[in-house]
Amino acid sequence: RVKESGRNGIQLFTPAMGEEARSKLSRIEELRRAVERNEFVLHYQPQKNISSGQVIGVEALVRWQHPVEGLLLPGTFIPLAEETGLVVLIGDMVLREACRQARAWQDQGLPPLRIAVNVSARQFLENSLIDQVASALQAAGLDPQWLELELTESLIMRDVEGAIERMHALKELGVSIAIDDFGTGYSSLSTLRRFPLSRLKIDRSFIADIPEKAGDMAITSAIVSLGRTLELEVVAEGVETEEQAQFLEGAGCEMFQGFLFAKPLPASEVGNLIAKLVAQTG
Ligand code: C2E
Ligand code: MG
Ligand code: MG
Ligand code: MG
């Protein structure tokens, strides 16, 4: 817990504080500064259609360009951003930048790509979310059909009725919704069908041990059939080997995202990659 004191809220260091609390507080201060200075950059990981070989979309993944420590992955700061609420501001920048970039690629003549943006729990529950999304789309001049929001299964299962309502409001803007890290929560078929979804993303943990773990292969196949039953597209995350890709194709999963095809890359590199693919396949 952050200690409140004085007019301006937060008192930084007191002698009684343990080392851990101090370093956490200084991290929070750094993160706050990073928001003010916008030290965040987006990398984009392509999603590939296995049979056509085409890139159908990209996922925007935030990184913190830390002035001293270099490029930091979201796992090192998103939890703290979530805890402090700064994730709402970071999420807003991410949305704006992702929409701007998607439009910029279109303006460069690339075939339109769906851009997926991760939405955190705090951000999803914030009343301003719908306005944030609408405003990001408008500022970028991006047609909403190209934006997809990724919500985690655990987030939407926390308050099913509330999530359904919010998701309908988002759908009304014209954006699509995917469930991220699917398979790790406890959604029932009957609950799932109530959400206005377009896509399920199979959690990386089920893909990682294919083909060694028969159980994971069974779960993966089951998610793919669930997707078919609900008429949802299914994307597998974290595909690293040819064998995994082949298993997925055999199971009927058409789309994947993973190091096998591409790591998350800076915008310019993704643009080049896609331009090259277009030149090859037409
Ligand atoms: P996620 O949304 O499930 O994103 C996929 C993560 O898996 C990314 O990690 C990506 O680099 C990694 N990945 C993709 N393919 C492979 C693979 O083949 N092998 C392995 N080992 N990893 C792979 P990253 O970029 O570190 O992001 C981690 C998580 O941070 C994301 O998981 C997402 O939950 C969160 N995150 C990222 N960007 C944002 C953001 O803008 N806002 C919020 N709220 N959360 C974000
Ligand atoms: Mg995601
Ligand atoms: Mg995921
Ligand atoms: Mg994940």
| Residues ≥6 apart with Cβ < 8 Å to 184 | 153, 154, 203, 205
For ligand 1, residues with CB inside 6 Å are 45, 61-62, 73-75, 78, 87, 91, 94, 118, 120, 150, 180-181, 204, 237-240, 257-259, 264
Which ligand has an atom closest to residue 98 CA?
Answer: 1
Sign of CA dihedral 211, 270, 150, 50: negative
Q: 147-177, pLDDT tens digit by residue?
A: 999 999 989 999 999 999 999 999 999 999 9
- Cα gap 117→246, rounded to integer Å: 27
Q: How far apart are the CA of 61 and the centre of ligand 1, in A?
A: 6
229/234 Cα distance (integer angstroms): 11
Q: Ligand 1, closest atom to CA 239?
A: 18
> What is the C-alpha to C-alpha distance for residues 98 and 53, in angstroms, rounded to an integer?
23
Q: What is the pLDDT of residue 4?
A: 46
Query: pLDDT tens digits for 174-231?
Result: 999 999 999 988 788 889 999 999 999 999 999 999 999 999 999 999 999 999 999 9
- State ipTM: 0.97
Asked whether the predicted pLDDT for residue 239 surpasses 60, the reply is yes
- Of 38, 78, 95, which is best to mutate to test ligand 1, by the most ligand atoms within 8 angstroms of its C-beta? 78
**Confidence category of residue 11, pLDDT binned at 50, 70, 90:** low
- Give me the pLDDT at residue 6, please: 45
Q: Which residues surround ligand 4, an ion (CB under 5 A)?
A: 181
Longest dimension (CA), the chain: 66
Q: Which residues are paired to 180 by β-bridges?
A: 152
In angstroms, the CA 269 to CA 275 distance is: 10
Contact 74, 62 (CB under 8 A): yes
Are 77 and 63 within 8 A, CB to CB? no
* DSSP per position, the chain: -PPB-STTSB----TTS-HHHHHHHHHHHHHHHHHHHT-EEEEEEEEEETTT--EEEEEEEEEEEETTTEEEPGGGTHHHHHHHSHHHHHHHHHHHHHHHHHHHHHHTTPPP-EEEEE--HHHHHSTTHHHHHHHHHHHHT--GGGEEEEEEHHHHHHSHHHHHHHHHHHHHHT-EEEEEEETSS---HHHHTTS--SEEEE-HHHHTTTTT-HHHHHHHHHHHHHHHHTT-EEEEE---SHHHHHHHHHHT--EEESTTT---EEHHHHHHHHHHHHHHH-
> Which tokens belong to 48?
């590939």
CA of 69 to the centre of ligand 4 (A): 23
Nearest residue CA, atom 3 of ligand 1? 181
Indicate whether 2 pLDDT > 50. no
6-20, 76-90, 105-119, 175-189: which range is least confident on average? 6-20
Length of the chain: 282
The overall pTM is greater than 0.90: yes
Distance 215 CA to ligand 2 centre (A): 24
Q: Which residue has a Cα nearest atom 11 of ligand 1?
A: 264
Q: Whose CA is nearest to atom 4 of ligand 1?
A: 61
| Cα–Cα distance list, 101 to 66, 131, 147, 268, 272 (Å) | 22, 19, 11, 10, 14
What is the distance between the alpha carbons of residues 156 and 56, in angstroms, rounded to a whole number? 25
Closest ligand (CA of 116): 2
